[in-house]
Amino acid sequence: MTQPHTGRSQTGGSGGSGADPSGLDVHTRDLSLRYGKTRALDDLDLDLGAGRIHGLLGRNGAGKTTLLSILASLLPSGGGVVEVGGRDPFEDEERMSQISLIREGGNTVGDETLSWNLDLHAAIRPTFDRDWAGHLVTQFGLSPDAKPDKLSRGQRSAANAILGLAARAPLTMFDEVHLGMDAPTRQLFTDLLIADVVEHPRTIILSSHLISEIEHLLETVTVLHHGRLLLSAEADDVRRRGVTITGPVAAVDALGRQLSVVAMRDLGPTRQITAYGELDERLLADAERAGLEVSAAPLQDLFIHLTADPTAGNTSGNTATSDPEALS
């Protein structure tokens, strides 16, 4: 399994504090949690380096929210090791104050004003910028006197995003922060996040199903599937290794045998495959000689194919694999 090269080796190894002026690193080993007979997390080994923007991807029920909740000390782990900045965050008040998890419905007191909520977060978070938070309320088109219970879903999401941005916590996690936001509001959020992380470095984890909206932000990509780690790698490596190849069936198959094919689709006499692998100069030359069309596969497409359920009904002619060994 390919792992990000920006994990604990950048922050002093397992014996250090993991502290970094640019944020907090994340380290898990054999992390597990069960809900009854369901394994929400299954022996998860993960290293996320400090001071970077990490994408956490997965379908509903993949274990994303469970993982983030454990990192935020909202849930105890069911087994294994979990460290944030070199320490187990559970019931560690100092470490908990340095971690912000933004999730739908979990960050505001609904029957109090936004101004009151900002004051509350400023009182409990040492890094919270109350003045900037007030400016953000205006930028997102909200009223400081509005109460979250009276806002639309998109407006509540914007209010939560404000809390996450202004917290400037060394580890800031956004769990589906885009829910209900319209396109201009989503763009405003990403623009503000990029600009502020440059000025105030910290570790960011973005969990979202709207991958196309955040793809350009991500420095690493982690994909969970049924509670297990399917892929964890540098985002640029994933982008470089994901390709779509289109052309005559025999020629496409000949090239595809040298790659990990995650999806295949027939279009009459033409075959299109989505593959994950190293397309070196020799393979590119082979593709050109065979008259094949080679293009980068969007991260969204790779995600869909990698996490496809091979037992589900398939009427499109597509095939896919989600075998982790095929992606190493």
Give bridge partners of residue 277 from the DSSP assignment.
none
Q: Kindly report, residue by residue over 115-166, the tens digit of the pLDDT.
A: 999 999 999 999 999 999 999 999 999 999 999 999 999 999 999 999 999 9
Domain 238-327 - what CATH class? Answer: alpha beta
Compute the distance between CA of residue 95 and CA of residue 161 in angstroms, rounded to an integer. Answer: 21
For domain 8-226, give its CATH number from 3.40.50.300, 3.40.50.880, 3.60.15.10, 3.20.20.70: 3.40.50.300
Please report, for the chain, the start and end positions of each structural domain, with discontinuous segments joined by +. 8-226, 238-327
For the segment 267-294, the average pLDDT, to the nearest whole number, is: 91
Distance CA 36, CA 31 (A): 16
**Percent of residues, the chain, with pLDDT higher than 70:** 88
What pLDDT band is residue 307 in, cutting at 50, 70 and 90? confident
252: closest CA among 293, 295, 304, 285?
A: 293
CA distance 76 to 91: 9
Please report the pLDDT score of residue 305 as a whole number.
Answer: 81
Question: Is residue 111 classed exposed, middle or buried when 0-12, 13-18 and 19+ CB atoms within 10 A define those classes?
Answer: exposed
More confident residue, 327 or 284: 284
More confident residue, 258 or 128: 128
**Which class for 139: exposed (0-12), middle (13-18), buried (19 or more C-beta within 10 A)?**
middle
Are the folds of 8-226 and 238-327 the same? no
- pTM, entire model: 0.84
CB count in 10 Å sphere of residue 86: 20
Q: Give strand ranges (E) for 49-120.
A: 53-57, 79-84, 99-102
The pLDDT assigned to 328 comes to 41
Q: pLDDT tens across 170-196, in order?
A: 999 999 998 899 999 999 999 999 999
Instruction: State how far the Cα of 117 lies from the Cα of 126, in Å rounded to an integer.
Output: 15
What single string gives the DSSP state of each residue in 191-250? HHHHHHHHHS--EEEEE-S-HHHHGGG-SEEEEEETTEEEEEEEHHHHHHHEEEEEEEHH
Nearest to 105 by CA among 162, 169, 176, 160: 160
Helix, strand, or coil (residue 34): strand
